[in-house]
Amino acid sequence: MNGQKLYSCIVLSGGKSKRMGQDKGSMIIQEKPMILHILERLNYKINDATIVLNDSKRIADYHSLLNQYCDGEIEDNFDYSLEFVEDEIKGKGPISGIMTGLKNIKTDYALVLPCDSPFISEDNIGAMFDLLENNLKSNNDVDAIIPFHIKSNKDKFKDNEEFNFDDAREMSVDMKIQNSEPLHSIYKKENLNNINALLDLDNLYVKSFIRSLKNPCFIEVDNKVLFDEDFRNFNRKEDLVDFEDFGI
């Protein structure tokens, strides 16, 4: 681990995978576990990664699985420190996993990724951290970097002939949040209290967390920096049928 990077990553692996019918992160895709595709793409990008799982048995299972597919010790395969942690609050969905991850990261910001997104690219990860770094260098102390899609909103602007769909400035913040990728975003550790407040209200929507942030930064997907394919994930067994057409 080089110890030079400024950022972390939280990999959410504690879902029940009801639609898939089996644990997704441990599924073998192109001869390796799905989560390993993600961990390998984080090399040379981060200081540390926290994998959030829902119980100690699952943590042991992931250790055993990665031992089978990694060379030597697991940690020797990555240019960052790797930690497995148990979700603090069970059954509350990804927002609880984000909270647990933020408590355990070793830097001020973390990219959140779900374990079922093996198509995430090194370019995407780098672009997200570059945008964060550019904001911080400009003294813009952002709370988050949030990708969002504009294509699904084109019908909302169909009466505006002058609207340029390559420019998302006309979209309201709420519209960007509605069409965001909250599980492929960067969050600041300092905003843990926002999540705690939502959990106290049993508000489990990650997009509610985004709405609570004072200074989020939004970036449009399919803007020649981030691409739709990076956000493709596996939810159902049917999703596996044509995955080879996309490559990993």
Give pLDDT tens digits for 162-196.
545 455 556 889 999 999 999 999 999 999 999 99
Does residue 230 register a pLDDT over 80?
no
Contact call for residues 79 and 43 (beta carbons, < 8 A): yes
pTM summary value:
0.86
CA distances from 131 to 88, 170, 192, 234 (A): 30, 21, 22, 27
The predicted model gives 51-70 an average pLDDT of: 93
151 is a domain residue? yes
223 is a domain residue? yes
Element at 56 (helix H, strand E) = helix 56-69
Q: What is the pLDDT of residues 164-173, one digit of tens each?
A: 545 555 688 9
Contact call for residues 183 and 114 (beta carbons, < 8 A): yes
**Structural domain boundaries, residue 52:** 8-243
Does residue 135 register a pLDDT over 80?
yes
How many percent of the chain have pLDDT more than 90?
A: 62
The domain total for the chain is 1
CA atoms in the 13 A half-sphere facing the CB of 52: 27
Does residue 15 register a pLDDT over 90?
no
Q: What is the CATH classification number for the domain harbouring 216?
A: 3.90.550.10
The predicted model gives 73-99 an average pLDDT of: 94
- Read off the pLDDT band of 239 (50, 70, 90): low
Does residue 85 register a pLDDT over 80?
yes
169 is a domain residue? yes
> Residue 231: its pLDDT value, please?
73
3 is a domain residue? no
81/73 Cα distance (integer angstroms)? 12
- Higher pLDDT among residues 75 and 246, named by residue: 75
The predicted model gives 25-52 an average pLDDT of: 92
Does residue 157 register a pLDDT over 60?
no
Nearest Cα to Cα of residue 189 among 221, 151, 143: 143
